[in-house]
Amino acid sequence: MGENEIWDGTFRQDGRTCDQTRAIKIQRGFTNAAGSVLISSGNTVALCTASVVEETPSWMKREGETVRGWLTAEYRMLPGSTKIRKPRQDRPDGRATEIQRLVGRSLRAVFDAEALGPRTVYLDCDVLQADGGTRTLCISGAFVALVDAINSIRASLPDPARYPLRDSVSAVSVGIVQGTTMLDLCYVEDFAAEVDMNVVMTGSGRFVEIQGTGEESTFDEEQLGSLLALAKRGNAHIAKLQREALGGAWPFAE
């Protein structure tokens, strides 16, 4: 896709071309949790912590599961994360429920439950500042926190030679705004989008989850193709940043 033929640099408010993500920063060890990552993409900022609890969920115990572990995620937005304060809710609302299920599923796709042993990793994604793309940013940040958390218990894994993750995972949003395909939508772009798609991929370029939806609109196969191409580009970029951030903690062979 040759978007620089179509757009000049001023099209997006922050001067990006359509195939660029915002500036993404990944800070490990933000707090003392086993994994604690402050991740930002432009003005969207999330704290992703990974905590290991030496217990499996009650439904696993009821099923007599004693070997495998579990991985689950929770997602919330802090009240001060939005311009207009977002009231706290007793329980995750519909949107938060949907997102935290997505985060959990995405990481479980590369997760080896037996290699973890009978314990649970909680991925807590708390959005500190929201400007679009919070769910995909949380997936990308949660992966890094998850690696740090697993590394912190590496000595006590059932089989030291079997790492509980098979691949890295990242996610990015793509969308069609006024007919143009764009990568990593900020809030105003997302709000204006006709089609919004979140694409979760592995470091090796396979799809984990695709959620594309016409926002009071529909889309055809060609548009789908453009969106997926852009998402692959974005995810490759993020995967590279995850690897750089993890440095020597990177758990996979070259």
Q: Point out which residues bind a second copy (CB under 8 A).
A: 30-33, 36, 43, 45, 47, 49-51, 53, 74, 76, 78-81, 83-85, 88, 90-91, 94-95, 97-98, 100-101, 105, 108-111, 122, 124, 126, 128-129, 167, 197, 202, 205-221, 224, 228
Toward a second copy, which CB reaches closer, 108 or 243? 108
Toward a second copy, which CB reaches closer, 19 or 124? 124
CB of 87 to a second copy, least distance (A): 9
CB of 172 to a second copy, least distance (A): 16
Structure token pair of residue 58: 């009650």
SS (H, E, C) 37-104: EEEEECCEEEEEEEEEECCCCHHHHHCCCCCCCEEEEEEEECHHHCCCCCCCCCCCCHHHHHHHHHHH
CB of 111 to a second copy, least distance (A): 7
For residues 30 and 14, give the distance between their C-alpha atoms in angstroms, rounded to a whole number.
27
Give the containing element (helix H, strand E) for 146: helix 134-152
Structure token pair of residue 88: 């706290």
Toward a second copy, which CB reaches closer, 5 or 221? 221
Starting at the edge strand found earlier in the chain, the sheet holding 24-28 runs 24-28, 35-41, 44-53, 120-129, 70-77
Toward a second copy, which CB reaches closer, 221 or 254? 221
H-type alpha helices, 63-133: 94-108, 113-116
CB of 183 to a second copy, least distance (A): 18
Cα dihedral 219, 223, 225, 230, rounded to 10, equals -120
Toward a second copy, which CB reaches closer, 84 or 161? 84
CB of 12 to a second copy, least distance (A): 19
Toward a second copy, which CB reaches closer, 83 or 162? 83
- 141-to-79, 136, 179 alpha-carbon distances in Å: 20, 9, 30
CB of 92 to a second copy, least distance (A): 8
CB of 77 to a second copy, least distance (A): 11
Toward a second copy, which CB reaches closer, 86 or 243? 86
Bridge-based pairing of strands 35-41 and 120-129 is unpaired
